[in-house]
């Protein structure tokens, strides 16, 4: 296979490196555990937990100590105590179609 030597640069989302406390919730919010956010971008985050535990395909991530905003995340990859997460954007709810207006 011949190539012309040109490389295509893949544009990535801006990332913010950090190492701050956050909290994850599993089991529909029944189990909460502290973790560290190592990297975060608009599309997801990389977290490290203190202990190995069974994390399903989805979890909640809270980045603020007051627990005011919970992000629904999908686990994209896992390596021991480190997890790659993708933020799940909720689907907009469709409004029911407007029926014919009847004159009374």
pLDDT band at 28 (very low <50, low <70, confident <90, very high): confident
What's the fold here for domain 16-87? Thrombin, subunit H (2.40.10)
Q: In the prediction, which pLDDT does 19 show?
A: 82
Tens digits of residue pLDDT in 52-78: 777 778 999 998 877 778 899 999 999
The two tokens of residue 56 are: 């399903």
Q: In the prediction, which pLDDT does 86 show?
A: 96
The two tokens of residue 104 are: 């009374």
**Strand spans (E) along 1-104:** 16-26, 31-41, 44-49, 58-62, 70-79, 82-87
């Amino acid at each position: 296979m011949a190539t012309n030597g040109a490389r295509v640069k893949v544009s990535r989302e801006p990332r913010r490196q950090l190492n701050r406390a956050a909290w994850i919730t599993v089991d529909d919010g029944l189990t909460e555990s502290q973790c560290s956010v190592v990297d975060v971008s608009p599309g997801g985050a990389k977290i490290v937990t203190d202990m190995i535990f069974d994390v399903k395909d989805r979890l909640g991530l809270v980045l603020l100590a007051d627990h005011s905003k919970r992000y629904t995340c999908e686990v994209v990859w896992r390596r021991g105590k480190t997890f790659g997460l993708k933020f799940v954007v909720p689907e907009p709810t469709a409004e029911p179609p407007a029926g014919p207006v009847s004159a009374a």
